Every structure is written in C-alpha cells, then in structure tokens.
Structure 1
Amino acid sequence: MDLTSIHPKVTPIYQTSVFKFSSLAELEDYYTTPGRKGLYGYSRSEHPNSDELVAEVARLEGAAGGVATGAGLAGLLAAVLATCQAGDHVLCPAELYGGSVVLLSQELSRLGIETTYVPLAQLYDLAQHRKPNTKLVLAEVLSNPLLTVLDGPRLAQACREQGIKLLIDSSFTSPMLTRPLDWGADMVWHSATKYLAGHSDVTAGVVVANDPALNKRLRQVATNLGLMLAPLDSWLAVRGLKTLRLRMRQHSENALAVARFLAKHPAVAEVFYPGLETHPGHDLAEAQLLNGLYGGMLSLRLANDTVAAADDFVQRTKLFPLAPSLAGVASSCSYPTATSHRGLSEEQRQDLGITPGVLRLSVGIEEPAELLADLGQALD
C-alpha cells in the first residue's frame, strides 16, 4: 500500500514500539544524526506523537525543545537527574506540592541528592540558603494548595546571580498564564495531566528548556530510565492542547466567580485565589500573570475548620466530586490533608496552613450559575 499520497489533517497515532530501516547506512545515520526528521528507531527513545507534543509545548513556552514523560512526577525526575547527581543539593520553597516533596525527600534522597525547604518569602535570598553543592531551585508559579504567588523574575535573577539552575512548575497556570523562560528560568515543568491535556483522560508530564545541552540530557534521562510518554497518551495530550486557550479563559472566569461567591458565604472563613483583591499576592499576580487570567484553581477554609465539616461538604456537593487530581473540564474537589499532602506530617501541614477544613477546588468550564448553586446548597 502506498501511503505517500495520504495527508491527514490530524497526526495519526503511531502505535508501534519499533520503526524499520531500509539499510545499514540508514541505521547508522539514525544513531549518528540525533533528531534527524523522519528517522525513528524505538519508541522508548522517541516517536512522532511525543515529538509533536514537545514541539507544541515548546512553541507555547518559547523553548527550543524538551521531553514528554509518562507522568508529571516523571518529568520532575527527569529534570532533577538532568541537572543533579549524588552529592548535589536542591532548594525548594516549603509551600510545595506534596508529591514533589515525597519524590525529592524519600526517593531522590536515597540516591544522594539532598533537598532543603525554605519558606518562599525567604527563598529569594539565595545567598543565605544555598550550599556549595546547590545545583537546582524548584518552585511553583502558584503553590499547591494555598495559591501563594511566586515572584518569578525575582527568583530567576537570584538564581542567575548564584549560578544555580531554576526549574519552574507551571502546572497550575499553563503557558496561557505564564512563560517562565521569559523570566530567565532554565526549565519549565508541567504535569500535562492537568491543564495541557485538560480532559482527565491522560497521565503525562512535559519539561522544556532552551539550552541544547540541557534538552539533550533530558532526553537521555527519559530514554535511559524508560520515562518516555507513549504514543496514544501523547496524541491525547496534543488533542487537548488545541483548546487550551479557550479552556483557560473559561476556567479562570468561572474560578473568579466562585471565589467571589465563597468569599461572601458565612460558612467559609477564607478563600485562597490570587484573582481576589484581598489575596496577599493579588498585585504580584496581576502584574505577572498573562491575559488578565488567574487560573482555575482555588482553595477555601471552612469556618467550621474540622474533618467532619469537610466531609459533609464533600458528600453534599454534586458538581465538585472528590478526586485526587485537578484541571479537567469538569469541576472537582480535593482534600489536601488526605491526598496531595498526606505524605507530610501533621506538624508540617499545620505550618503550611493546611488545616482540617481546607478544601481545594478545581473549577471546570461548566455554566457558572450551576456551579454557584451547587456550592450554595453544599455549604448551606
């Protein structure tokens, strides 16, 4: 069958583990000319669907390349191992996603990579907290779950002055709200499971960078450890990216409406959303985030700050089902104490402000009036 005359509008799913070569010369060309267009060998190393996903995310982020991995945390693993080895040190804000903390402190520590956590407000003074072996700083644009706003340009400048690589987790924001490479960050990491794919039907990670040597090393790590994203999942993530701009606008508009509603409700003691003028990071978010959007994630603290009250809300809501992830087109609710931050001690959660009555809402793209009505009946 001659396939040369077929020109699909959408890239096909290359559901193959291996590609064929026509000669030993072509095989040699494949190994000696990495990245040559049209030459693929083994899907553990690369395939057209993964390349398409990385190219599109890189375009949106203003990057030169990167790698797509089988999960968000696999992307973090690739980024850390591309820049650090045994005996090196990573510096992070204390307000960090619990899954990242577990990977760094429980798994990578066994490989001899040390991690220190510093309150974000103090992290900008890198000279005070760095060590001679500090190689990487990891930070989130908006912290999970209490939406603390990062001063990205300030941290990037501090990293440049200290000669330390900066990795930014932009999973909560996507390139529609932030482009951290423009600040001077070295790498941008996404749990593509979240907003990039956007439909709660794929698990993936993407890391992009501008430095060719760094991108080469990211690919090597992903290949050698078997982290590469599979063809079908890559295809699904690319499909999701096609509506990212539309989705992020609706997510953000709905979340702002929800945040304003919750801020006035007597059953809610506190709302964490940078789009609210009362949020301590509002001015910074307004100046730093793009397109006048603040994202679809917010958290609230119930006035009755107890497990029982949180469980009552979870059982009463119809449109915010309890789910341990975020950013799908349908709204959901998460309980950080039992999901994203269950790996932390009770004392650590208290220090971060994650009390029993804290709930994290991922606001979808449904009709906002329906969301407000559901929240009202759940809280009332």
Structure 2
Amino acid sequence: MKITPKITPIYQTSVFKFDDLNELEQYFGEPGSRYLYSRNGNPNSDELAEAVNKLEGGAGAVATGSGMAAIFAAILACCQAGDHVLCAADIYGGSSALLNAELSRMGITASYVPFEQLYELAEFVQPTTRLLLAETISNPLLRVADLRRLAAECHRHGLKLVVDNTFASPVITQPLALGADIVLHSVTKYISGHSDVTAGVVVAADEEVVARLRQIGIFYGLTLSPMESWLAVRGLKTLRLRMREHSRNALIVAQFLEQHPKVRQVNYPGLDAHPQHALAAEQGAGQFGGMMSFLLDDDAEVVNAFMQRSRRFPFAPSLAGVDSSLSYPLGTSHRSLTTEQQQQLGITVGLVRLSVGIEPIEELLADLAQALG
C-alpha cells in the first residue's frame, strides 16, 4: 500500500538506518542525499529551514534550537577569536548579553553604535571588525533601520550586515533583498506564532556562509528537534494571514493609546508621528507588525496597577503569539543592561511593551480602557 502524506510526518528519531557501507559512503559523498543522525540534520528541521529561506530569498538556512542559538551561529559564522563586532545600541537585551558575557570569553569583542550614528560607522570600525548586528524593528523602542542604507555603509567598510528580522517577519521585510548578508529569526515569535515552540533560524545570502552555519549547528549541537520543527512549519503556513491581522489590530490599539490621557508616548511605526513611519511603510509594504511600546508614568505602582487590571494582555515576557500579551523591558529583556545604558536608550520604569494578537479588536480596546482607567 502506497502512503503519500500531504503533511510531512514527524521524524521522531535520533538516528537513521543504513543497509551497508555503500549507503554510508553515499551519505558522505553526496551531501543531502540521506540522513545519518538528527543532530546533523533531519527532514523536519530541513523543511522549516527551506521554507524560511524561500521567504527570505537566501542561498540556504539552518534551523536552531532557539533565537539565541540563531544569533550565536550568525556571529560565529563570521568571527573568530580576536575579531570585533559592531552592534546597534537599540537591540534585544539577550543579544547584548551574549556579546558581553559569553562571546567576550571567546575573544570576540563588541562595541555599540547609537541609532543616530548607524549610517556613519567610520569612527566605530576597527581593523578586526567583521560585522554589524542590527534589528529591522528594534526591541523595545520600535525604531526602524534603513536596511538598504545600512547595508551600503557596512559594505563600504568591508563588514557583513547581520539583521535580526524577528519583529518584522519575512512577510513584512526581506533584509537580504535590501542588501543584508545574513538574516535571523527567533522562530519562537511570529514564524511559529502560537507560543508553543522555542526555535530559531539563520538565513544567508552566500552559500559559503550557509556551509559554515551548518558546520556550527552540527558541532555546537544547535540543531532543532523534529517535533519543534514540525510545529513551527505548521505555524508558518498561516504567517501571512496572522501578520495582516496583527498589523491591523496593532494600528488601532496604537491610535487608541496615542489619544489616552494616561499614556505619555506610543512607539509604533504605523503611526504618522513615528520618526521612521515613511521608511517603515516602504520596507514593510504598508504593514507594521503587532509590536509596540508605550510610556506610563515612571512609577512602578502605576505599571503594576495596569498589569493587574488587564485581562487580555497577560504579563508574559515573550511576544508575537496569536494571543495578546505585555512585557516589561526594564525588568526582563533589558534587565542585564547597566542603569546608564537603560537611561540612554529610554528604557524607563514606565515603559510597557505590547504584543498585539489577533483577537477581536473591540475586546482588546475595552480591556485597555478599563486597565488604564
């Protein structure tokens, strides 16, 4: 009986069988012809990597066990001991913690570039500088990088541009098409979309970099498990639909918050008042995603009261699920920064980050109104 499943099965196995030595030699002589050991690759993780690679328009991709593993792999693909990395100051706190706490121990140093100076890198570049790490839409202040301009500036100095595209997703922006060399995602977020997967993916424009990423994935054991891969592929199939609804709901929520007397500031690229609104509209084909942040009074009790009253935005320090949530950058994602760094970035006591889901918008607005009231 012939069995042809419409959906790829879950290959929940750690190892694959060979009939004889000829098949073993085929594995090593014809890369990609078969599987040996799931850490080296498995059909499910390859399916996820290939699907994201297609969306991003790359030469190849590798699925990893988390977004942090994806960042680690991307940097290691370009750097070795003695090298230097530039990093946008406006970045996920975990990225800066990785650079400061762990990669520094491997002899890879880092310097941080303020957002306003991203397109003038000369004073930051050292002879050993290899890359710049930046985000399409920054976490948590929602600043938007001009990727075409940034890529040109990086390449002028012989640097690779590595872009964390998690907040935008490949539906909104494709950094490789704008000149980036490597793009990465925390698949945990929009690509999976249902808050039930921990995964990452790295996509490269150059085949040699892809080969290096695969080697790093195998040797460091970064490979994603079959089950997580299968769940992420299932989530990816509705990404376009979800991003459309995330973007629609978020714009309405941002406009509501913008008019609320207890909200001091709203950071959302879809608002006309956002400093990079026109750029975000161009790079995102009119979609702006479901992430935003806003400022309440710089009083922990005010923030606590809002969190305790809200029912549709539970305090959950992640993002991009179909269900809305809120987070507190000062106490979670950017906790490892010094007080001076937090203040320089504008990450204060009153800053709250929202991940706007795809629920009925009237329910979200009603909840925000009563929580702020």
TM-score (norm 2): 0.99
**Does 1:358 find its partner at 2:358?**
no
CA distance in 2, matches of 1:111, 1:175: 32
CA distance in 2, matches of 1:161, 1:312: 50
Which consecutive unaligned segments of at least 5 residues does structure 1 have? none
Question: Structure 1, residues 148-187: CA drift from partner, whole Å, max 9, x if none?
Answer: 1101100001112111111100000101100000011111
1:359-374 matched pairs, under 5 angstroms: 359-374=352-367
- Alpha-carbon shift at residue 26 of structure 1 (Å): 1.1
CA distance in 2, matches of 1:32, 1:191: 33
Taking only the aligned residue pairs, the percentage that are identical comes to 61
The DSSP-based 3-state class of the residue aligned with 1:234 is helix
- Alpha-carbon shift at residue 129 of structure 1 (Å): 1.3
**Does 1:299 find its partner at 2:296?**
no
Question: Structure 1, residues 173-204: CA drift from partner, whole Å, max 9, x if none?
Answer: 10110000001111110000000000000000
1:156/1:183 contact within 8 Å kept: yes
Equivalent residue for 2:272, pick from 271, 277, 280: 277
**Does 1:338 find its partner at 2:341?**
no
CA distance in 2, matches of 1:123, 1:262: 30
1:123/1:129 contact within 8 Å kept: no
The DSSP-based 3-state class of the residue aligned with 1:168 is strand
- Alpha-carbon shift at residue 23 of structure 1 (Å): 1.6
- Alpha-carbon shift at residue 283 of structure 1 (Å): 1.5
1:78-227 matched pairs, under 5 angstroms: 78-227=73-222
Q: Where does structure 1 differ by over 6 angstroms across 4 or more consecutive aligned residues?
A: none
Task: Tell me the residue number matched to 1:33.
Answer: 30
The DSSP-based 3-state class of the residue aligned with 2:62 is strand
Name the aligned partner's letter for residue 226 of structure 1. G
Moved more, 369-378 or 18-27: 18-27
| Number of corresponding residues | 373
- Alpha-carbon shift at residue 27 of structure 1 (Å): 0.3
Question: Structure 1, residues 101-132: CA drift from partner, whole Å, max 9, x if none?
Answer: 10011110010000100102212112221110
The DSSP-based 3-state class of the residue aligned with 1:127 is coil
Question: Structure 1, residues 334-357: CA drift from partner, whole Å, max 9, x if none?
Answer: 000111000111221111001100
CA distance in 2, matches of 1:136, 1:239: 33
Name the aligned partner's letter for residue 7 of structure 1. T
The DSSP-based 3-state class of the residue aligned with 1:166 is strand
Which consecutive unaligned segments of at least 5 residues does structure 2 have? none
Task: Tell me the residue number matched to 1:66.
Answer: 61
Moved more, 155-164 or 352-361: 155-164
The DSSP-based 3-state class of the residue aligned with 1:126 is coil
The DSSP-based 3-state class of the residue aligned with 1:268 is coil
CA distance in 2, matches of 1:99, 1:296: 21
CA distance in 2, matches of 1:287, 1:247: 20
Moved more, 11-20 or 114-123: 114-123
Task: Tell me the residue number matched to 2:21.
Answer: 24
